[in-house]
């Protein structure tokens, strides 16, 4: 298991496979105000690939090609935010996608704990650290602790998807889950366009 750190973009010719786990680190939770700093990915082989995004950077051709590739499924935990952050930074809309948080909310209705750490503990018996969650991701040099934290957010998503899919099938909720995943890129665009908290499907 290794972390691979790159500046600005994925290297030419890197193929992470047909299913890629992705997460982002930003300066905060407002995509209009807080810039994208790191995009971390894993192909499910135990390695993590981290792209450090420069301040003011608006292009990452190799990364964006993968995000928009219709033959590559992108796995997220709370993909709504990450999809919006990358679309805001690069203009690339990620699809197709799968979100473990949405899957969890659809089948773990016996709890209100749907964080990544909760999922890995219950479904995989793995305890991941959140110690570096609130750190300066805009720093010029990322510490080993930051890199390890970023990696931990993507290294377990493939296994989580497998376990969540079994439960979605058991509860006959695969179809509704897929519909939610398909809508997620549009939900991210609505967030950026000014409807982050408004339910446009509500009567009033």
pLDDT tens-digit series, residues 81-99: 999 999 999 999 999 999 9
Q: pLDDT, tens digit, for every residue of 12-38?
A: 999 999 999 999 999 999 988 999 999
Which two three-digit tokens encode residue 14? 């890197």
Q: pLDDT, tens digit, for every residue of 114-126?
A: 999 999 999 999 9
Give how far Cα 15 sits from Cα of 65, 123, 144, Å: 11, 28, 24
Q: How far apart are CA 7 and CA 51, in angstroms?
A: 6
Rounded to the nearest 10 degrees, the angle between the axes of helix 157-170 and helix 174-193 is: 120
The pTM of the full predicted model, rounded to 2 decimals, is: 0.95
Report the sign of the C-alpha dihedral through residues 110, 112, 116, 122, in that order.
Answer: negative
Residue ranges and CATH numbers for the domains of the chain are 3-193 (3.30.420.10)
């Amino acid at each position: 298991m290794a972390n691979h750190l790159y500046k600005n973009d994925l290297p030419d010719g890197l193929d992470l496979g047909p299913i890629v786990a992705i997460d982002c680190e930003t300066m905060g939770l407002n995509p209009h105000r807080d810039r994208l700093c790191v995009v971390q990915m894993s192909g499910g082989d135990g390695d993590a690939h981290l792209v450090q995004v420069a301040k003011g950077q608006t292009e990452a051709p190799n990364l964006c090609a993968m995000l928009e590739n219709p033959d590559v499924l992108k796995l997220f935990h709370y993909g709504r935010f990450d999809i919006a952050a990358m679309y805001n930074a690069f203009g690339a809309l990620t699809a197709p996608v799968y979100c473990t948080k949405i899957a969890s909310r659809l089948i773990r209705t016996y709890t209100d704990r749907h964080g990544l750490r909760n999922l890995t503990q219950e479904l995989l018996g793995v305890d991941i650290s959140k110690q570096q969650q609130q750190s300066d991701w805009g720093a010029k040099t990322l510490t080993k602790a930051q890199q390890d934290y970023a990696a931990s957010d993507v290294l377990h998503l493939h296994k989580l998807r497998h376990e969540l899919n079994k439960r979605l099938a058991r509860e006959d909720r695969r179809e509704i889950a897929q519909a939610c995943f398909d809508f997620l890129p549009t939900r991210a665009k609505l967030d950026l366009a000014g409807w982050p908290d408004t339910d446009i499907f509500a009567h009033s």
